């Protein structure tokens, strides 16, 4: 089976180009293990992951920091040696311009002023 045909959650994360696609991979991981968000939270143990955070990570919002991602993955039963691969994909996706991160306001003002000519 080629990597593009691999339907595993991690392969989905590797193909993700947007945050939403990465969120789908996290949810795919959770559902493939037949876990509720509450169970993921409990399974995270000492890593302290709230049920609401687990729910957000697999429905609409990827984590903003590495620690909650690691807690989620641990709660889903991913082995410790697999966590770094997931984190690497998360970093790649969150750093991507495809995610539509807004430009700083100063850049917007400068770029819009360049093509502006006041009426005469």
Q: How confident is the model at residue 96 (pLDDT cuts 50, 70, 90)?
A: confident
| Inside any domain, residue 88 | yes
pTM over 0.95? The answer is no
Domain range for 34: 9-98
pLDDT confidence bin for 100, thresholds 50/70/90? low
Answer yes or no: is 4 within a domain.
Answer: no
Residue by residue, DSSP assigns 24-64 as HHHHHHHHHTT--HHHHHHHTGGG---HHHHHHHTTT---S
Span 25-40, average pLDDT:
97
Residue 116 lies in a domain: no
Would residue 64 count as lying in a domain? yes
102 pLDDT higher than 60: no
Which pair of structure tokens corresponds to residue 13? 């994360």
Classify 120 as helix, strand or coil. Answer: coil
The CATH number linked to 15 is: 1.10.260
């Amino acid at each position: 089976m080629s990597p593009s045909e691999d339907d595993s959650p991690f392969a989905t994360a590797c193909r993700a180009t947007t945050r939403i696609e990465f969120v789908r991979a996290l949810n795919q991981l959770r559902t493939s293990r037949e876990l509720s968000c509450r169970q993921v939270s409990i399974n995270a143990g000492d890593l302290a992951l709230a049920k609401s955070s687990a729910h957000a990570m697999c429905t609409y919002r990827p984590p903003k920091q590495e620690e909650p991602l690691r807690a989620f993955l641990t709660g889903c039963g991913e082995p410790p040696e697999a966590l770094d691969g997931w984190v690497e994909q998360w970093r790649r996706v969150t750093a991507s311009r495809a995610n539509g991160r807004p430009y700083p306001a100063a850049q917007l003002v400068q770029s819009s002023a360049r093509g502006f000519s006041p009426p005469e």
